[in-house]
Amino acid sequence: MASNEGSFWLPPQSSTVASEVDELFDFIMDLNYIFFFIILAMTVYFVVKYKRTNDEQLATSDLDHSTLWEGAWAFIPLGLCFVMFVWGFKLFVNLQVAPPGAMEVYVSAQKWSWNFAYENGGNSNDLYVPAGKPVKLIMKSKDVLHSFYVPDFRVKADVIPNRYTTVWFEAPEAGEHRIYCTEYCGKEHSGMYRTVHVLPPAEFEKKLEDLSGPSKLPEGMTMAQWGEQLYVDYTCATCHSKDGSRLVGPSFKAIYGREGKLADGSTYKADEEYINESIMEPKAKVVEGYPPVMPSFKGQLDDNQINAIIAFMKTLK
């Protein structure tokens, strides 16, 4: 059964495979401790026993070797390595192959955000999954190498451009767990942390419906407040400051109505049309002095959300 506190060394075990991974990890660590002390103790013993006490002293042993000892220190560690290999390989295969009937989620990584697309066409930046059901992630990168990592699940896999990789897990209980990108992918690599929300199955079905179809202004929020939330959720904040400081991309401070030069020498004015285009086709008009690195948010943000983001920009005077 999964423990939810974790140990001194390891985070909580929040997936069905976590305890198996930890058992192997603990086995290898325990062997390390044992051999560390054996080797240390023998080193000290031999240093004391065979210390040279005067300058004329010569080697006196007439033993050339001991088959018993040499066999022991070759074959015992070899046997232990085989145990580690076979145990690890079985676990590796188990971690690679999703059980039949797993729910599939398509994952797309880009500098510097995650997108999770569900079977009903919905998509999100945090991952939503039902409790007690295996989930298979089918992952691809839009640009460079990223790596999907949920420590609480003991699950990690590279996300690679032009190739699909998969990973699966089953979280038995509802809860929230951290997703990290664990492959250095550029300046805002550390900003690629999101949450996986494990929901009770009925709640998950409801969430899934919300995620598909056109987005709606969340209750109790103004358009500008919603825009600010999207600015955080879609990780715009990693490249675009709102206080005027220079990050990877131009700051959002006073962006609405801003005029300036583009990389190709022409000029731009940041109106609705320009901002919409810059979110959908970021490379169409690149502001002078900035690298053309922004990914497209086509299929991730709809018109309502873009309007909200523009409303938010208008408040940043």
- Write out the residues near ligand CUA by the rule CB under 6 A: 109, 112, 146, 181, 183-185, 189, 192
Residue tagged 């990914």 (tokens)? 295
Minimum distance from residue 161 beta carbon to ligand CUA (Å): 12
C-beta closer to ligand CUA: residue 103 or 181: 181
* Distance between CA atoms of residues 16 and 160, nearest Å: 26
SS3 call for 52: coil
C-beta closer to ligand CUA: residue 82 or 184: 184
Quickly list H helices, 219-302. Answer: 223-233, 272-280
Minimum distance from residue 75 beta carbon to ligand CUA (Å): 43
What per-residue string of b and e applies to 14-32 under the rule 16 or more CB within 10 Å gives b? bbbbbebbbebeeeeeeee
Minimum distance from residue 298 beta carbon to ligand CUA (Å): 20
C-beta closer to ligand CUA: residue 14 or 238: 238
In this structure, what DSSP letter does residue 194 have?
A: E
The DSSP bridge pattern shows strands 103-110 and 135-141 to be: parallel
Minimum distance from residue 137 beta carbon to ligand CUA (Å): 15
C-beta closer to ligand CUA: residue 137 or 255: 137
Minimum distance from residue 106 beta carbon to ligand CUA (Å): 17
Q: Could you tell me where the beta strands, DSSP code E, fall in the chain? A: 103-110, 113-117, 123-124, 127-130, 135-141, 146-150, 155-159, 165-169, 175-181, 194-199, 259-261, 267-269
Minimum distance from residue 159 beta carbon to ligand CUA (Å): 8
C-beta closer to ligand CUA: residue 92 or 184: 184
C-beta closer to ligand CUA: residue 109 or 301: 109
Q: Tokens at residue 46, please?
A: 């031999």
